Structure 1
Amino acid sequence: MSASADRLDLGRIGAGLPFARSVPALEQALADGVAVVQAPPGTGKTTLVPPVVARSLAARGSGAGRVVVVQPRRVAARAAASRLAALTDSRVGELIGWTVRGERRLEPTALIEVVTPGILLRRLLADASLEGVGAVVLDEVHERGLETDLLVGLLTDLRTLREDLLLVAMSATVDAAAFARLIGPDGAPAPVVDCPSALHPLAVAWRPGAGPRTDARGVSRDFLAHVATVAAEAHRAAVAEDPSVDALVFVPGAWEVGQVATRLRALAGPDGTEVLELHGQVGPREQDRAVGGRRSGDPARIVVSTSLAESSLTVPGVRLVVDAGLAREPRRDAARGMSGLVTVTCSRASADQRAGRAARLGPGEVVRCYDESTYAGMPEHVTPAIATSDLTDGALLLACWGTPRGQGLGLPTVPPVVALRDAETTLRRLGAVDDEGVVTAEGRRLARIPVGARLARGLLDGSELVGPRRAAEVVAALADDLRSPTGDLTGLLRELRSGHPASDRWRRESRRLESLAVGAGAAAYDAMVEGLVVGMAHPEWVARRSGDTYLLAGGTRAALPQGSPLAHQEWLAIADVTRATGRTAAGTGAVIRLAAPLDQEGAELVAAHLLVDEVRAELVEGRVRARRVRALGAIELTSTPVAASGPAAHAAVREALRDRGLGVLTWSDAARTLRDRLALLHTHLGDPWPDVSDEALLDRLDEWLGPEIDALARGSAAGRIDLTEPLRRLLPWPAASRLDQLAPERLAVASGSHVRITYPPHDDPDARPTVRVKLQECFGWAATPTVADGWVPITFHLLSPAQRPLAITDDLASFWSGPYQQVRAEMRGRYPRHPWPEDPWTARATARTNRRR
């Protein structure tokens, strides 16, 4: 074993950690090359597993390689490396270092490197064999992040070629068996190393708020005030009993962290409680302060955090947890072509992990700001991001790996077909994949840039317009997920240049991206720089003002945040637009989170592939109206009326019929009757009588309505077209010659009159045809007539001389033998001029009165 590995003193590192008892089992499992570690948060797996793996590698001899530990978040990666370095009395980077986007603390002597998932994914694309890496430890796989799921598939695939590569997956929940099956060698599950929970007694209190937790704007401000009040009261009571108690408050996002922290500081008053914020956007110094624990003489602390502290980080000293029960999860809106983080109820597994943070050091308490029924209704586990996210970047990575659409790859969750299809559509527009989803040379070029595929396109193409430096500055801000409450990207960049908390990181990333924009030409534009770069990345989100909202080229409407300085802009290039409801979105269902000004010339430049100049026609009030339209996607730039003709007019008729149905045409009584007759024959006799339902007629438009569609396209009015003859085109020959025999329009009754038969509507063909006839015209008639070759009897509505119904029957013989006598008794006094014979069987059927007879 190397001298460096000897410095990884497992006894010292694992002192007091529950996972120390599981080290022998892990060392034994590593002999198989793969292992799954299942251990609750706070047991020390993140601290102890990497050095155990590093020592196992070192025992193999020289050249075994470095251990790469994957942490889902930058904060956790830095904290894990810093803690391990402190436990080994080494400086950060010497034995244990870290690499996150734009930052690296790593020396050649390092045995362990902590990285974020994106870092390792790009290394795999650059070097599929991971030269110099001897082991990979995937931490927090239970969080089901998209990039971590992809790493599970890619690293398992890599191990088929590199059996020497150690692979360890670590989970804080009980889904370890599923990962063991995935990463196990030769179809056998990987060994699972368990670690019992180190929980002390945990008291649970329920403190739901008076109103809902969320509203149209997101998390309710009233609910956040409730969370702050509950946290302040619970912490004050806990400190009164034990001054060493610190509190950890869980809310879903950075904005909510700020809101609750501000209120807590106001509620704390003069008691000296320190309120700290912990999320991905606070600076390294503030992060270190929050996760570093309370120093001697420090006041009691309340740390307000996102789910970052749920399992990735341990905040020392916590004996009280206050949980809002909410989380942020990615959601893709296929209809609007956008995705983003939405606030949802967290899973029960997350709620339990949060609560467990209070009982690691001793008896603790969790206060849940919701009720027991809400807890019972929570989903068991977090929703895998691969099932709900935009898969554009994931699909590019899979294509670069040689497994388009993930085919043949052992992923924890199969990517949804529709999301993959949409992702490939975007990648084809970027020139990154071909029609089969196979990566192109341009796709590999985009994948080498450490941002998403769209932003990589924005960097490369934007550099040609505004120069590499300015393009890199814009892309660096977007890639770091920085936001402005007003949605103004230009204003955000001004802040980054003058002293924003993220300025240092942004400058480093800008310089790095600028160096990657090789071969870019000189700047051609000095104005609207940000809009041009953003538009190159998201051409479908170029937008034009329409009233109080903006219409995007992709067809979606969205609104700016209230009070945004961009509200007067005619054109915008939108960098981030997410789903929203209520006032924040002006009823559009989408809110613009970040955008930059643009003008029409710039819009047409960056979205040139969306420009069209065409004749558009539509059927309006029975006539085809046509316009010559110049448009940028869904945004009409100019519109001029023109004469309707050609393919556009034909398409307009067909589209109107398919969208609005056959009701856009005028159905005469004759056409409607013919359709009803044909429907009855089709129902009762089947082929060759045609199906005349809406669906069937729309499927055969050209076959029966072709000449009439031509006439409408030439300008004829729909009201002038009689559909009787078109329907007859559907009649088969020679069966058509029997139409009047099988479904006659009129029926000869006993009096000699020919009475109209009313057939049931075409959409109710199982009903009976009917005739309305004066009762006296049917005297002596016993057999009920039928249609459809005897299959369907006709129902008679027998009428009084005033044409009012006296009886309804499809059995005339039974009527004459029974009910007729009661009808006769009631009617002969009312209508004495009409015959009401005692014996209807022998009476002569007539339409006349007694005198006329």
Structure 2
Amino acid sequence: MAPFDLAVIGRGLPFAEALPQLRQALEARGVAVVRAQPGAGKTTLAPPAAADLLAGRRGPRRVVVTGPRRVVVRAAARRLASLTGTSVGDLVGSTVRGERRVGHGTVVEFVTAGVLVRRLLDDPELPGVGAVVLDEVHERGLDTDLLVGMLGEARALRPDLLLVAMSATLDVPALAAVLGGEDGPAPVVDHASQQHPLEVVWAPAPGSRTDARGVADDFLAHVARTVAGQHARALAADPAVDALVFVPGVREVDRVVEQVARLAPGTEVLPLHGRLDARAQERAVSGRCPGDPPRVVVSTALAESSLTVPGVRLVVDAGLSREPRRDLRRDMSGLVTVQASRAAMTQRAGRAARLGPGTVVRCLDEATFVHAPEHTTPEIASTDLTGALLTLAAWGSPRGDGMALLTAPAPAATRAAEEVLRGLALVDHDGRITGLGLRVVRVPADPREARALLAGAPLVGARAAAEVVAALADDHRAQDGDLGGLLRALRSGRPPGAARWRAEVRRLERLVGDPRGLDGGGGTADRGAGAVPPEDVAGLVTALAHPSRVARRDGDTWLLASGTRAALPPGSPLHPHRWIAVADVALVEGRVAAGTGAVVRLAAGLGEGVVELATGSLRSREVRASFVDGRVVARQVDAVGAIELASTPVRPSPEAGAGAVAEALARDGLDILGWSTPAEMLRRRLALLHRVLGAPWPDVSDEALADRAQEWLGPELRRLAGGTPVDRVDLTDPLRRLLPWPQAARLDDLVPERLEVPSGSRITVDYPPHDDPDARPVVAVKLQECFGLRDTPRLVDGRVPTLFHLLSPARRPLAVTDDLASFWVGPYAQVRAEMRGRYPKHPWPEDPWSVPATARTNRRR
């Protein structure tokens, strides 16, 4: 018997019309891609439809549905449960990190994408699961992208596993191709239902939406005024209308909530974002009761997808999004404010017309909307890949090689993340997971923090290590950046999310202390507790997670072991510390944070007594050579990463010197070498030959010369590495090593250094710079030296005309021409008329063909 009454559940939902097509696709191929308008009811109807299909088969019956965020998962489960007249945990269940509401009779289970990733790692066959529904694939979250590839491979083990991928806005052909596999693209259920009427209003702000620090305060004030005005007009027509407002981040949510509450007294204004506890989130997404005041919900992108906020008929969209950006060089990530994609803005607008006619007010102009990017940037292309690569290694596909993914991991980000994992001993040099990696991947946290839990528990005790890691692993914040203060507040239960933190602490403590768990037998609970001073516990565990982020104060900023600088928030109690361990350091928009562009979001102090324990893997005593002021210098350095504790000048070894020169070349290019005039002249001549004739004449661009540095510059590099100053190295002879033989014998014929003119003088040819393909060779010569020269000389076997700059006796330009014959019969007459009175001692004949060319005056001639 089918567990769900689809006729009752689907009453009034447009997607009910597409259920036969979905069933047909699943029966034929076992996989389907669904595209339907926001509010069509796909999240509500597709899972029970899959369950209905499974009810007629032998085998597993449970349907697992993924959502992008916890609040979305909880809300979707509540809605489907209410439509079936049951409670969450009965027929319909939900699981998010730290909270599982599932019973023996649960048929449809809503989970976050990360939960399903971990289940697949535990058992790729997903025992007991008959179907998986991936919802909101268009958001391109990292875990969802991984699931697309992992489930595609899991279906090879479980051909009976049904798979549905859904969204309102997605790249259907690409997704269908990946999920369809060798049998061809997956069937597409494209339900273009007519939404309720949606009015679009454009309300651009008079000024810019962003400034150097992010979203401009004036723009947020404009959003708040727009919300208050538009909601007042909507309420005049229908008192039941509520409003949903989209802004990019938590700061903007709080600012707009405050201003709307002031502008619209009598209105209940509620925030909605990921840092709120479950009760506050559920209050924002639940409908108001009769007699309640009108409601405005101000949200981040959290409310964009799979979330119906009852009563919403008005959406106000700031048109901005926050996307992660990764600075691989500085090992930092940050959220940047960007123009929202058209797909995201379409999703937001759909919230207004899910249950009836609605209005969307966009705080931008129509042209900006049209030119916005079509889709959201996938997280796999812009965020830290450390956790993703460990997941792929645990799955048996290091780096995702050979795996069908919507977007392959970026090579540079992959290399950086794999280097971190190797440094933590979680993967080997081939990217395959180690035994420690298998233990770490089972901890629901970033790999660095999970490893700190395992390594820190024997040193500080399981409970203390779990407290620190639980604070780092979740989205807890401290305005002053003090992790110690945050932990004290969480223990007191004051801040939002404290209950969630306590539950996570208990779970992590069980994982570490369970003899059958992560420590491989013999629990580590509280072993070693008390060996580390209590005030250093948070710093030590943080340093175990992020050893490259141990930092020492240097004036107003902090130098991290990774070599980058960051600043603490103003007024942070960490300022007096000499050493800190940084848990979270982020790039910030604008040149702020003491000019570093990076701010420490969360850190803990480190006492001098535990610095060595915390930084043991980074301590080194080595010779460090650098290229300074044109020569190699070296020092014997005792250091923690880039933080120098002591240094003594020493003579550089050949290896260290060569490394310093190579690093300087990679950083600053060939300009560090200093080009003499003869070397620069030869380079320009060779550049022209390569440009006109190609091979075998060498490419002498910066990139090409750098790539072949050892070939043409090897001896000179060794001299520099040995301490020879750069001003004693001439690049003319090294460049000649690149000349092709026997063609080199024609170098002076093809591109001569000098050209002889009729006066007998040999004039230097000024060849164009090597990186200017449009410039031409120039001959600058006194006009009188060219009398009788009819044909303009051409170089490179006549392929390249020269450009003559004809000069006055004072060597000032009179004319520029590449056609001397035309100059003598035309412009010369005017030049003669203007110059003969100014320079009477020099010849200015009427007929320049009949007078011998000369470099002399009339008398000397």
TM bracket (short chain): 0.7 to 0.9
Contact 1:581 1:587 in 2 (8 A): no
CA 1:561/1:782 → structure 2, altered by over 3 Å: closer, same or farther? closer
Aligned to 1:219: 215
Q: CA deviation at 1:314?
A: 0.6
Q: Which residue of 1 aligns with 2:344?
A: 350
Counterpart of 1:280?
274
Letter in 1 for 2:45: L
The residue aligned with 2:234 is 238
> Aligned letter for 2:500?
R
Q: Which amino acid aligns with 2:114?
A: G
Deviation string, structure 1 residues 160-195 (Cα, Å, up to 9, x no partner): 221221222222236445434433375244444454
Counterpart in the other structure of 1:624: 632
Q: Does residue 439 of structure 2 align to residue 445 of structure 1?
A: yes
Aligned to 1:369: 363
Partner of 1:522: 528
Q: Deviations over 1:92-117 (max 9, x none)?
A: 21222211101111122222221111
Contact 1:692 / 1:762 at 8 angstroms: preserved in 2?
no
Query: How do residues 616-655 of structure 1 correspond to structure 2 at under 5 angstroms?
Result: 616-653=624-661, 655=663
Map Cα deviations across residues 445-473 of structure 1 (whole Å, 9 max, x no partner). 22111112122112112223322211111
Q: Does structure 1 retain, via aligned residues, the 8 Å contact 2:776–2:803?
A: no
Whether the 8 Å CA contact 2:477–2:486 is kept in 1: the answer is yes
**Aligned match of 2:552:** 544
Gaps of 5+ in 2: 513-518
SS at match of 1:568: coil
- Structure 1 residue 516 displacement after superposition: 1.7
What is the CA–CA distance in structure 1 between the aligned matches of 2:205 and 2:816, rounded to whole Å? 65
Partner of 1:509: 504
Is the CA contact (8 Å cut-off) linking 1:798 and 1:805 kept in structure 2? yes
Alignment CA distance shift 1:791-1:302 (3 Å): closer
For 2:628 and 2:701, the matched residues in 1 are separated by: 24
The two structures have a TM-score, normalised by structure 1, of: 0.85
Q: What is the SS of the residue equivalent to 2:647? A: strand
Indicate how the Cα distance of structure 1 residues 605 and 738 shifts in structure 2: closer, same or farther if over 3 A, else same. same
CA deviations 1:369-400 (Å, max 9, x no partner) are 22222222222222222222222212222222
- Tell me the secondary structure at the aligned position of residue 415 of structure 2: helix
Residue 260 of structure 1 deviates from its aligned partner by 1.8
- The C-alpha deviation readout for 1:180-211, integer Å capped at 9, x for no partner, is 44333752444444545463333332222232
User: Does the alignment pair 1:482 with 2:488?
Assistant: no
User: Which residue of the partner structure matches residue 136 of structure 2?
Assistant: 140
Q: Do 2:39 and 2:353's aligned partners in 1 also have CA atoms closer than 8 Å?
A: no
| Alignment of structure 1 residues 720-759 onto 2, 5 Å | 720=728, 758-759=764-765
User: What is the CA-CA distance between 1:121 and the residue it aligns to?
Assistant: 0.6
Between stretches 656-665 and 380-389, larger displacement belongs to: 656-665
Deviations 1:733-779 (A, max 9, x none): 9999999999999999999x9x6663545847996696979979x99
Q: Given the superposition, is the C-alpha separation of residues 544 and 682 from structure 1 closer, same or farther in structure 2, using an over 3 Å criterion? A: same
Query: What letter is aligned with 1:219?
Result: V
CA-CA distance at 1:655 after TM superposition? 4.7
1:75-114 maps to which residues of 2 (within 5 A)?
Answer: 75-114=71-110
Structure 1 counterpart of 2:467 = 473
**Percent identity (aligned):** 59
The one-letter amino acid paired with 1:31 is: E
CA contact 1:535–1:603 (8 Å) conserved in 2:
no
**Does structure 1 residue 569 correspond to structure 2 residue 569?**
no
Conserved? CA contact 2:809–2:839, under 8 Å: no
Matching residue's letter, 1:505: R
- CA separation in 2, counterparts of 1:511 and 1:35? 40
What do residues 673-729 of structure 1 show as CA deviations (whole Å, max 9, x unaligned)?
Answer: 787888899999999998877767666656666665555555454445566776777
8 Å contact 2:754–2:765 — kept in the other structure? no
- Structure 1 residue 124: Cα displacement: 0.6
Answer whether contact 1:624 1:715 (CA < 8 A) is retained: yes
Q: How many Å separate the matches in 1 of 2:823 and 2:808?
A: 15
SS at match of 1:562: coil
User: Do 1:219 and 1:343's aligned partners in 2 also have CA atoms closer than 8 Å?
Assistant: yes
**2:138–2:169 contact (8 Å) kept in structure 1:** yes
Match of 1:56 among 28, 53, 57: 53
What pairs with 1:244-263 in structure 2 (closer than 5 Å)?
A: 244-263=240-259
For residue 636 of structure 2, give the secondary structure of its aligned residue in structure 1.
Answer: strand
Match of 2:415 in 1: 421
> Which residue number in structure 2 is paired with residue 454 of structure 1?
448
Taking only aligned residues, the RMSD between alpha carbons, in angstroms, comes to 4.4
> Which stretch shows the higher mean deviation, 633-642 or 822-831?
822-831
**What CA distance in whole angstroms lies between the structure 2 residues aligned with 1:308 and 1:794?**
65
* Whole-Å separation in 1 of the counterparts to 2:821 and 2:17: 96
1:370–1:800 CA distance, 2 compared to 1 (3 A):
closer
For 1:427 and 1:358, the matched residues in 2 are separated by 45
Whichever residue aligns with residue 425 of structure 1, its letter is E
* Structure 1 position 378 matched with structure 2 position 384: no
What's the CA shift for 1:122? 0.4
Q: 2:199 and 2:548 mapped to 1: Cα distance?
A: 52
Residue in 2 that maps onto 1:554: 562
Opposite residue 49 of structure 2, the aligned amino acid is: V
**Matched residue, 2:516:** none
Could you say what secondary structure the match of 2:156 adopts? coil
* Residue 163 (structure 2) aligns with: 167
Deviations 1:67-121 (A, max 9, x none): 2121211112122222333333333212222111011111222222211111111
| Offset, 1:123 | 0.6
1:119 partner amino acid: V
Q: Does 1:589 align with 2:586?
A: no
Q: Decide whether the 8 Å contact of 1:756 with 1:771 is kept in 2.
A: no
289, 300, 316: which is aligned to 2:283?
289
Specify the alignment match of 1:404 in structure 2: 398
Q: Which residue of 2 aligns with 1:580?
A: 588
Q: Which moved more, 1:304-313 or 1:649-658?
A: 649-658
Query: 1:411 and 1:470 mapped to 2: Cα distance?
Result: 39
Change (3 A) 1:661 1:207: closer
Structure 1 residue 509: Cα displacement? 0.7
C-alpha change, 1:245 and 1:721, in structure 2 (3 Å) is: closer
Q: 2:316 aligns with which of 314, 322, 331?
A: 322
Q: CA deviation at 1:326?
A: 1.9
Distance change (3 Å), C-alpha of 1:644 and 1:779: same
Residues 69, 137 of structure 1: 8 Å contact kept: yes
Cα gap change, 1:800/1:459 in structure 2, threshold over 3 Å: closer, same or farther? Answer: closer
CA contact (8 A) 2:393 2:431 kept: yes
Say if 1:693 and 1:763 are closer, same or farther in 2 by CA, change over 3 A.
Answer: farther
Partners of 2:802 and 2:273 in 1: CA distance: 78
Q: How many residues align?
A: 841
Instruction: State the distance in 1 between where 2:612 and 2:319 align.
Output: 46
Q: Which amino acid aligns with 1:158?
A: A
CA deviations 1:268-311 (Å, max 9, x no partner) are 33x3x222222222222222222221223322222222222222
677-686 vs 692-701, which moves further? 677-686
Classify 1:536/1:790 alpha carbon distance in 2 versus 1 (closer, same or farther; 3 Å).
same
Q: CA separation of 1:684/1:444 partners in 2, compared to 1, >3 Å: closer, same or farther?
A: closer
Larger radius of gyration: 1
Q: Which residue number corresponds to residue 199 of structure 2?
A: 203
